[in-house]
Chain A
């Protein structure tokens, strides 16, 4: 019932990214091979995504049942371990020296631990929640 709101919001998010990309596109062509010239425009689209995602987050989280606030925390724990993306890029990146890769590997270990434990404990807790059996409910 709430789905249309959320999917609409995703649409808006995608549109924001597209618009920002279009704006950046012109700069890319004129700048040619110089990737650094694109930087000043890129952060606008990132801030855009951040703003929209925050609004979506607030909208979605406010509807989360108060019963489930503890599982919500462990779920968002796991989701914030999305830092795994950065860790993989650094740990496995082709050009990095070893000391950078060691830091990346440590970050990867920390993120993966959060992902595994976060999702597992959330599911473990959610399995415990059940409604009163039919007939007994008052």
Chain B
């Protein structure tokens, strides 16, 4: 742990702040994953960790290794760009898969989803939160 002593105090405070806030945001995303009631609400929870949780921890890591090694370390940006590009793809595909499964009448479920987009009537903007049934695993 020698490298921790070499950092200047202002950098240590900034790194500590970034790491603490980023980890707290990710933890909050996990709490949301447990607390929220329906799948479509839960789809929003991990985005906290994906967006600013990852960004803050990556910035802290970049700052720390740059100061500790005395050169500019930008490895971590690769992870940031990768997460930024891939997260929307996974969440989008999961959302579409869930919508398709919820429209399928053969699978027992109790989510209320809007009908296919072709119809012109406005969708019902309500959503049931009951999870008492025993849906398809």
A and B associate = no
